Amino acid sequence: MLSVLRDRTYRLLFTAQVIALVGTGLATVALGLLAYDIAGADAGSVLGTALGIKMAAYVLIAPVVGAVADRLPRRALLVGADLIRAGVALTLPFVDHVWQVYILVFALQSASAAFTPTFQAVIPEVLPAERDYTHALSLSRLAYDLESLFSPALAAGLLTLISYNWLFTGTVLGFLASAALVVSAVLPKPVAAPRAGSAYARATAGTRPFFAIPRLRALLALNLAVAAAGATVTVNTVVYVRDHLGRSAADVPLALGAYGAGSMAVALLLPRLLDRVADRAVMLRGALLLTAVHVALGALTAASSGGWRWPTLLAAWAAFGAACSMVLTPAGRLVRRSAPAEERTSVFAAQFSLSHSFWLLTYPLAGWLGATAGLQSAVITLGAIAFAAALLAVRLWPSHDPDHRSGAGSGPLRTAHPEPTRAR
Measured between alpha carbons, how far is residue 46 from residues 32, 74, 113, 361 in Å? 9, 34, 21, 18
| Residue 33 or 237, more confident | 237
Same structural domain, 327 and 361 = yes
Same structural domain, 130 and 212 = no
Among the three residues 143, 174, 203, which one is the final residue of a domain in this structure? Answer: 203
Mean pLDDT of 60-80: 79
From 39-43, 247-251, 301-305, the region with the lowest mean pLDDT: 39-43
Please give the pLDDT value at position 20: 87
The answer on pLDDT for 244 being more than 60 is: yes
Please give the pLDDT value at position 275: 86
Among the three residues 169, 203, 237, which one is the final residue of a domain in this structure? Answer: 203
Task: Read off the pLDDT band of 58 (50, 70, 90).
Answer: confident
The answer on pLDDT for 384 being more than 90 is: yes
Q: For residue 79, give its domain range.
A: 1-189+197-203
Query: pLDDT tens-digit profile of 307-343?
Result: 899 999 999 999 999 999 999 989 888 888 887 777 7
Chain-wide mean pLDDT for the chain?
Answer: 82
Do the domain assignments include residue 419? no
Same structural domain, 135 and 211 = no
Task: Read off the pLDDT band of 212 (50, 70, 90).
Answer: confident
Same structural domain, 169 and 209 = no
Same structural domain, 236 and 133 = no
Do the domain assignments include residue 328? yes
Do the domain assignments include residue 47? yes
Split into its structural domains, the chain has a count of 2
Do the domain assignments include residue 420? no
Question: What is the amino acid identity at position 401?
Answer: D
Do the domain assignments include residue 403? yes
Same structural domain, 291 and 399 = yes
Instruction: Give, as one character, the DSSP assignment of residue 92.
Output: G
Same structural domain, 232 and 144 = no
The answer on pLDDT for 270 being more than 50 is: yes
Percentage of residues in the chain having pLDDT higher than 70: 86
Please give the pLDDT value at position 228: 94
How many angstroms separate the CA atoms of 281 and 130, rounded? 17
Please tell me the pTM assigned to this model: 0.77
CATH code of the domain containing 51: 1.20.1250.20
Please give the pLDDT value at position 203: 60
The answer on pLDDT for 180 being more than 90 is: yes
Same structural domain, 227 and 148 = no
Same structural domain, 380 and 306 = yes
Output 257-260 pairs: Cβ under 8 A, ≥24 positions apart. Answer: 257/149, 258/314, 258/315, 258/317, 258/318, 258/321, 259/233, 259/317, 259/318, 259/320, 259/321, 260/145, 260/146, 260/148, 260/149, 260/321
Same structural domain, 162 and 238 = no
Do the domain assignments include residue 422? no
**Residue 285: strand, helix, or coil:** helix
Please give the pLDDT value at position 149: 67
Please give the pLDDT value at position 201: 63
Percentage of residues in the chain having pLDDT higher than 90: 27
Query: pLDDT tens-digit profile of 272-296?
Result: 898 899 999 999 999 999 999 999 9
Do the domain assignments include residue 27? yes
Same structural domain, 185 and 217 = no
From 105-119, 148-162, 312-326, the region with the lowest mean pLDDT: 148-162
Please give the pLDDT value at position 365: 86
| Residue 145 or 328, more confident | 328
How many angstroms separate the CA atoms of 358 and 360, rounded? 5
Do the domain assignments include residue 421? no
Among the three residues 152, 180, 203, which one is the final residue of a domain in this structure? Answer: 203
Same structural domain, 302 and 174 = no
Question: What does the radius of gyration of the chain's CA atoms come to, in whole angstroms?
Answer: 21
The answer on pLDDT for 1 being more than 70 is: no
Please give the pLDDT value at position 195: 53
Query: pLDDT tens-digit profile of 3-16?
Result: 788 889 889 988 99
From 208-217, 313-322, 408-417, the region with the lowest mean pLDDT: 408-417
